[in-house]
Structure 1
Amino acid sequence: MTSAIVRTDLPELELLHRGKVRDMYAIPGHDDKLLMVATDRISAYDVVMDDPIPGKGKVLTQISLFWFDLLADIVPNHLLTADVDEFPEVCRQYRDQLEGRSMLVRRTEVVPIECIVRGYLSGSFWKAYQKDTTVCGFALPPGMRESDRFPEPLFTPSTKAEQGLHDENISMARMEELVGREQARRMADISLALYTKAAEYARGKGIIIADTKFELGMADGELILIDEVLTPDSSRFWPLDEYAPGRGQPSFDKQFLRDYLSSLDWDKQPPPPKLPPEILEKTRARYEEALARITG
């Protein structure tokens, strides 16, 4: 197995932000660009695990690159290039840390909203539904089962919390207050169009995209797609041939890790528990399977 990259060290660049998975750098002399590097860190319940998944950052990057290309007709994106040879010269000396897991992107003003689209009743939405059939402002029919498909995909935005804090679901009305009515409607329309096209494509590859989250930024006065797109970190991927409503579904994402952690006596606060090698390997295999199915 290849060795994992847990954190990057690029001393001639300016580290702007170390997120749960990605390290973001400013590049001297290139104020309009950023370098985004996907490490092999993995988080669950907003806690970064101490144990990485070797190669995970490369899988995330390859999947995002695929979707950026497929979905470019719906909305522009921030990708400039993922070819290290085309990066500014100061970046190329770090090739061993960047190859296959980095993107040179346009610098944007991030809109602080998580654009979540749900096609199926699952996860936190299912938990909320069991208490009240009106969830995030949507009056859902009674009697729905876990993993049931919605008649139409739902746009359920949330605030973008600081690291270590939980995102908070908000209504469309609240989103309009935060970003303006026209902007909010445009973001919802873009997100639903992205999900609809991606879900149709993935279904042909034997994958159900149960839900996902997009991030959008502003550049030159227009909304563009940023960050990662439709990866196992940001989405729930279910095998179509095993889909059976009324229960949780097997998946090609980090739900396997979440389920393992839920079986432990852990309060979902740092420090995280040690992950056994077989859990790391099975998680890695699910990410690899997602890449193979989506891009194959």
Structure 2
Amino acid sequence: MQANSNTLYRSNIKSFPLSSSGKVRDIYNIDDKHLLIVTSDRLSAFDVILPDPIPGKGSILTEVSNFWFKRCRKIIPNHLSDLAIEDVIDQKVELEMLKGRAIIVRKLKPLPIEAVIRGYLIGSGWEDYKRTGKVCGVCLPAGLKQAEKLPEPIFTPATKANVGDHDENIDFESVKNLIGDDFA
């Protein structure tokens, strides 16, 4: 993977209106059917945006996401569009800013959960475990230590919080209540 040498903390695309700005991604409305998602180099930890970006992070995240979206496209449909950035943006400065870090997607209704697979007992999972012996309703063996490798990876969903709010760990039953059995 080759990171873009231009560090981007916040995008500033004039070609389209900004729809929302998240912890790492900025979303622009292209038209009534498409969005432009720009992945910045912002660093978010524990639901807080830190002041110092990581150069090239946005490009790497975009490349990894695109790999898996394309690889899994025949298994499960996704929001990727066949439009190229060059099809909708003609400003050279904007094209350079977006190089390797932006995708065009179809507008869909997002599912309000974050799907996290944990292999280690760390972060909010560790906090839940100390309090209850469980992480997102998954019972774990007694006596585990912070940052210890789990016996097997576990699914630990969370609500998807807005910037400034904290994601909240939830159990699988709560996921089904939020998005329905078919999507869960």
- TM-score relative to the length of structure 2: 0.84
AA partner of residue 56 (structure 1): K
Cross-structure match for 2:53:
52
Q: How far does residue 6 in structure 1 lie from its aligned partner after superposition?
A: 1.9
AA partner of residue 15 (structure 1): L
121-130 or 40-49, which moves further after superposition?
121-130
- Find the aligned partners of 1:100 and 1:82 in 2 and give their Cα distance: 14
Q: Secondary structure at the match of 2:176?
A: helix
Q: Secondary structure at the match of 2:51?
A: coil
Residues 38 and 103 in structure 2, CA contact (< 8 A), matched pair in contact too: yes
Describe the shift of the 1:115–1:48 C-alpha distance in structure 2 as closer, same or farther (beyond 3 A).
same
Which structure 2 residues correspond to residues 16-27 of structure 1 after superposition, within 5 A? 16-27=19-30
AA partner of residue 80 (structure 1): S
Cross-structure match for 2:90:
92
Moved runs in structure 1, 4+ residues, more than 6 A? none
Residues 34 and 105 in structure 1, CA contact (< 8 A), matched pair in contact too: yes
- Find the aligned partners of 2:134 and 2:53 in 1 and give their Cα distance: 38
Q: 1:236-289 deviations in whole A, cap 9, x for unaligned?
A: xxxxxxxxxxxxxxxxxxxxxxxxxxxxxxxxxxxxxxxxxxxxxxxxxxxxxx
Which structure 2 residues correspond to residues 203-222 of structure 1 after superposition, within 5 A? none
Residues 1:135 and 2:135 are matched in the alignment: yes
Q: Secondary structure at the match of 1:110?
A: coil
Q: Secondary structure at the match of 1:100?
A: coil
Describe the shift of the 1:134–1:38 C-alpha distance in structure 2 as closer, same or farther (beyond 3 A).
closer
Residues 112 and 178 in structure 2, CA contact (< 8 A), matched pair in contact too: no
Q: How far does residue 150 in structure 1 lie from its aligned partner after superposition?
A: 2.9
AA partner of residue 97 (structure 2): Q
Describe the shift of the 1:134–1:8 C-alpha distance in structure 2 as closer, same or farther (beyond 3 A).
closer
Q: Secondary structure at the match of 2:36?
A: strand
AA partner of residue 109 (structure 1): K
Cross-structure match for 2:62:
61
Describe the shift of the 1:49–1:143 C-alpha distance in structure 2 as closer, same or farther (beyond 3 A).
closer
Describe the shift of the 1:147–1:75 C-alpha distance in structure 2 as closer, same or farther (beyond 3 A).
farther
Cross-structure match for 1:15:
18
AA partner of residue 130 (structure 1): K
Unaligned runs of 5+ in 2: none
Provide the aligned C-alpha RMSD in A: 2.2
AA partner of residue 106 (structure 1): R
- Find the aligned partners of 1:126 and 1:139 in 2 and give their Cα distance: 13
Q: 1:94-133 deviations in whole A, cap 9, x for unaligned?
A: 2112111110111110111112222333332233323432
Describe the shift of the 1:149–1:171 C-alpha distance in structure 2 as closer, same or farther (beyond 3 A).
closer
Aligned identity (percent) is 42
Cross-structure match for 2:73:
72
Cross-structure match for 2:111:
111
Describe the shift of the 1:130–1:33 C-alpha distance in structure 2 as closer, same or farther (beyond 3 A).
same
Q: Secondary structure at the match of 2:33?
A: strand
